Amino acid sequence: MSASSELALTSMTVAGIMSGTSADGIDVAITRITPNLIGPPAPDLKLLAHAGFPFPPALRRAVLAAMNSESIATAELARLNWRLGQAYSEALSRTLERNPCHLDLIGCHGQTIYHQATPARYLGRDAACTWQIGEVAMLAQQSGVPVVSNFRPADMVVGGQGAPLVPLLDYVLFRHATRGRVLQNLGGVGNLTALPANTGPLQVVAFDTGPGNMVIDQLMQQLFGKPFDRGGRTSARGVMIKPVVDALLREPFFQLRPPKSAGREQFGGGYAARFLEACRSAGGSPEDTIASATALTARSVGLAYSSFLFKSMHPTPVDFVVSGGGARNQTLMQMLREQLEPQGCTVQASDDLGLPAEAKEAAAFALLAYETWHRRPGNIPSATGAARPAILGQITYV
């Protein structure tokens, strides 16, 4: 897309709506995005408000069932698509009740129920695929605001993995002239963006590191009947089963060079069941199992940094900035410090740099919607593996 075909840049108030692979609920971020007419072409973003809403238990069960299903009735998928549309509309409405403002645009990621980043044979052809559901026509009509959605396919059809897409926000908000920064999100899946000091957008590296909270959450539900390990208190009572974690970190995903992405297809119910069996066979207690799942996340992040980033980030100081629900797990954060501080990183939550950990991904899709509205690419090819920049998503008008 040439510069002449871009729309004239304007300031806009944009809502971002995100529900991730952890399937625990919906995050909404209200942002004000303004053109940056001096310096880099990326716009400036200010977070105005954010809110989080847990899924009702029945809706969460339905989402998880759709993600993990080998087969599911088309009627069930159709109903779930519309029910999620209702949930997104309700979450936005409740956010605006608390924080009244005039919206110009909405970016809604939708709920990923399947993501296959690399091509595989199907009916005589090789193809990659991804699917995010949640009926955005409902969101557009009820809010009276255009909605950008379905962000990932445009990157995939030009050779990318459709993920990660948050690096544009990371670059806009966190690049620094003299300090390297690694932005690590710990949602269901762990993913990072690496910004060497004084980097340009073409030098950004990003990829998925492995499980974030996904395995921990599944095991907490099975062993303790709780949705997650609040504050890391359960893992703090256990001891890592080192042979189990060591063996899992030797599996191919952790050795694969970026770009790479993952989801429930890699770290979902089947993986958690195998993990639990390995811990039980090693004589571990339920608390040891949660400690081991937490250590798997922390050690996979440390391994990703040492294997793929250390040389490019040093010798400048490096801030390792954590967002997502994992930033609230104090045991996990301590394990991350133990992995990363010996490698010269200062570990902190994104709150310390002005962006609440829970708001980051929703804010990213507000920014991506803004770029799409102005007919500008939103992917970073060095992060996704795409052959070229691509304008992402589809617009549903009112």
Residue 36's pLDDT is 77
Q: Do 156 and 36 lie in a common domain?
A: yes
Element (H, E) at 360: helix 360-373
Q: Do 291 and 368 lie in a common domain?
A: no
Residue 262's pLDDT is 86
Distance CA 244, CA 388 (A): 40
**By C-alpha distance, which of 58, 59, 32, 30 is closest to 43?**
32
Q: How many domains does the chain have?
A: 2
Q: Do 70 and 183 lie in a common domain?
A: no
> Using one digit for the tens of pLDDT, what is the confidence trace for 236-255?
999 999 999 999 999 999 99
Residue 1's pLDDT is 42
Q: Do 313 and 336 lie in a common domain?
A: yes
Angle at which helices 269-281 and 286-308 cross, to 10°:
110
- In our burial notation (b when 16+ CB lie closer than 10 A, e otherwise), range 323-358 reads bbbbbbbebbbbbbbebbeeebbebebbbeeebbbb
Domain ranges, residue 204: 167-353
> Using one digit for the tens of pLDDT, what is the confidence trace for 120-151?
999 999 999 999 999 999 999 999 999 999 99
Q: Do 133 and 263 lie in a common domain?
A: no
Q: Do 347 and 270 lie in a common domain?
A: yes
Residue 3's pLDDT is 41
> Using one digit for the tens of pLDDT, what is the confidence trace for 288-314?
999 999 999 999 999 999 999 999 998
Element (H, E) at 259: none
Residue 4 has pLDDT above 50, yes or no: no
Q: Do 202 and 254 lie in a common domain?
A: yes
Residue 182 has pLDDT above 90, yes or no: yes
Q: Do 72 and 181 lie in a common domain?
A: no
Q: Do 277 and 389 lie in a common domain?
A: no
CATH of residue 316's domain is: 3.30.420.40
Distance CA 132, CA 114 (A): 7
Q: Do 157 and 66 lie in a common domain?
A: yes
Q: Do 255 and 293 lie in a common domain?
A: yes
Q: Do 253 and 338 lie in a common domain?
A: yes
Residue 247's pLDDT is 98
Query: What is the pLDDT confidence band of residue 281, given thresholds at 50, 70 and 90?
Result: very high
Exposure on the CB side of residue 17, measured as CA atoms within 13 A: 32
Q: How far is CA 125 from CA 116, 119, 122, 147, in A?
A: 15, 9, 5, 32
Distance CA 18, CA 347 (A): 25
